Amino acid sequence: MKKHILVVPGDGIGAEVTTVGKQVLEAIARKFGHEFTYDEALIGHVAIEATGSPLPGETLTKMRAADAILFGAVGHPKYDNDPTAKVRPEQGLLQMRKELGLYANLRPIKLFDELLDASSIKPEILRGADILFFRELTGDVYFGKRERLDEGNTAYDTMIYSKYEVERIVRKAFEAARTRNKRLCSVDKANVLESSRLWREVVQAIAPEYADVEVEHQFIDAAAMLLIKDPKRFDVVVTGNLFGDILTDEASQIAGSMGMLASASVGDNTGVYEPIHGSAHDITGKGVANPLASVLSVALMLDISFGLKAEAEAVVGAVDAVLKAGYRTRDIAGPTTQPEHVLGTDAMGQQILQLLQA
């Protein structure tokens, strides 16, 4: 199969982890006889430095021409600590999502059994947890009107959803629930927010079309609690942009670390595959970032954008085997990890590549 992949490393550890992700794509192409071609483009802080824009026109053009995009992360402490900055790396990410129509962000929470001891949650609560989040990605308070008033002393953001935006993500979640355990949890704040009342109305209206799927509604505050108390009660979860952002960072503790969570952003055009984590400047340049979220994002790309199931399984299988062999990056090392088995980013990548080359 011939495919053209755009690699967009972005900032901080984004470059470190996408290097490994790309190597995995190259290994898969060799192993299965595919012809993958690559290009690279700038986004975020590095793009601002080079062009003044967090999403240069050239990057967007390359994104539209690609069959899939492997994305790293954006962000820089310079902007995190300057609330008055007018141009910000994150604007590049948000604009990319909007321009490419990536309204559905799939965030699978897959716990590898070997990582039961990497989490601070009790193993008996965690064992068997497997959740698929559908986070709406192009609406909500992220894209609503925002403004400063009163000479800058008052500020507001608007949480806004239209029926069609809710419908399309909810339908995707129902379809996925059908292929899994036929349980869907919709998370909102309908006891307070009007946009959440619309969200709940839409879920209730669509539910009869999927009578084989059991639907429950949870408020975001209770859902955040239940996720840690009893993660196994969840199968497919659908929620808005902001709630999904927060809940999935929380859910990363079920999988052991932010460094384990991959995601697929899909919609009308080219899919974007990226870890859920950010640019992590606290560890940038130290060579310790966990590359497995990027590697697992490659598996999602192979499966969802290219329909290459066996190839995707080979990647997930390699991750599983490396963890079974006892290798860990620092973030997922547990009390029983041998110190010599704690690897840096590149060494962990090499372990995966060796298995894929075998």
Ligand X SMILES: NC(=O)c1ccc[n+]([C@@H]2O[C@H](COP(=O)([O-])OP(=O)(O)OC[C@H]3O[C@@H](n4cnc5c(N)ncnc54)[C@H](O)[C@@H]3O)[C@@H](O)[C@H]2O)c1
Examine the residue annotation and report whether 324 is marked as an active-site residue of this protein: no
Per-residue x/- track, 242-271, Mg ion (CB under 5 A):
---x--------------------------
Is 215 within 8 Å of 187 (Cβ atoms)?
no
Token pair for residue 55?
Answer: 């999403």
Nearest-angstrom CA–CA distance, 311 and 120: 32
Backbone Cα Rg of the chain: 20
Smallest distance from the beta carbon of 60 to ligand IPM, in angstroms?
Answer: 17
Q: Is 93 in the site for ligand X (CB under 6 A)?
A: yes
- The response to whether 200 counts as a known ligand-binding position is no
* DSSP conformation letters of 164-229: HHHHHHHHHHHHHHHHTTSEEEEEE-TTT-HHHHHHHHHHHHHGGGGTTSEEEEEEHHHHHHHHHH
CB of 14 to ligand IPM, least distance (A): 11
221 flagged as catalytic:
yes
Q: For residues 16 and 165, which CB has a smaller minimum distance to ligand X in the complex?
A: 16
- Check if 78 is active-site: no
**Binding to ligand X in span 136-155, by CB under 6 A:** none
64 is in an annotated binding site: no
Tell me the number of residues near ligand X by CB under 6 A: 21
Binding of residue 356 to ligand IPM (CB under 6 A) = no
Q: Which is nearer to ligand IPM, 27 or 137 (CB)?
A: 137
CA angle at residue 21 from 19 to 24, to 5 degrees? 110
Please say which residue, 7 or 280, places its beta carbon nearer to ligand X: 280
| Side chain identity, residue 113 | D
What token pair was written down for 246?
């927060």
Q: Output 148 or 286, the one with its CB closest to ligand X.
A: 286
Interface with ligand IPM includes 276 (CB under 6 A)? Answer: yes
CB 70 within 8 A of CB 21: yes
74 interacts with ligand X by CB under 6 A:
yes
279 binds, among Mg ion, ligand X, ligand IPM, none (CB under 5 to 8 A by kind): ligand X
Q: How far apart are CA 342 and CA 290, in angstroms?
A: 11
To the query of whether residue 142 is one of the catalytic residues in this protein, the response is yes
Closer by beta carbon to ligand X, 60 or else 185: 60
- Under the binding rule (CB under 6 A), the answer on residue 278 touching ligand X is yes
Helices (H), 33-86: 45-51, 57-65, 77-80
Question: What is the closest distance, in whole angstroms, from the C-beta atom of residue 96 to ligand IPM in the complex?
Answer: 11
Q: Which of 80, 117, 157, 245 binds ligand IPM (CB under 6 A)?
A: 245
Task: Give yes or no for a contact between 199 and 165, defined as CB atoms under 8 angstroms apart.
Answer: no
- Residue 67: active-site member: no
| CB-based burial, 183-219: b 16+ in 10 Å, e otherwise | ebbbbbbbeebebbebbbebbeebbeebeebebebbb
Minimum separation from the CB atom of position 17 to Mg ion (A): 15
- The region of 90-98, 113-121, 328-336, 350-358 touching ligand IPM under the rule CB under 6 A is 90-98
Please tell me the number of Cα atoms within 13 Å of 80 on its side-chain side: 9
Q: Is 39 annotated as a binding residue?
A: no
Check residue 80 for interaction with Mg ion (CB under 5 A). no
Reference 354, options 323, 322, 331, 329; nearest CA is 322
**Does 93 interact with ligand IPM (rule: CB under 6 A)?**
yes
Please report how close the Cβ of residue 78 comes to ligand X at its closest, in angstroms. 9
Task: Copy the structure tokens of residue 161.
Answer: 């959803």
> Residues near 91 by Cβ (< 8 Å), separated by ≥ 6?
54, 55
Q: Is 221 annotated as a binding residue?
A: yes
Determine if residue 135 is labeled as part of a ligand binding site.
yes
Complex with ligand IPM: residue 89 or 231, whichever CB lies closer: 89
Q: For residue 140, give the DSSP letter.
A: G
| Residue from 80, 249, 320, 346 carrying the catalytic annotation | 249
262 by DSSP, 3-state: which? strand
- Amino acid residing at 284: T
Residue positions annotated with a catalytic role: 142, 189, 221, 245, 249
Positions that interact with ligand X (CB under 6 A): 13, 17, 73-75, 80, 90, 93, 258-259, 274, 277-280, 282-283, 289-290, 293, 331
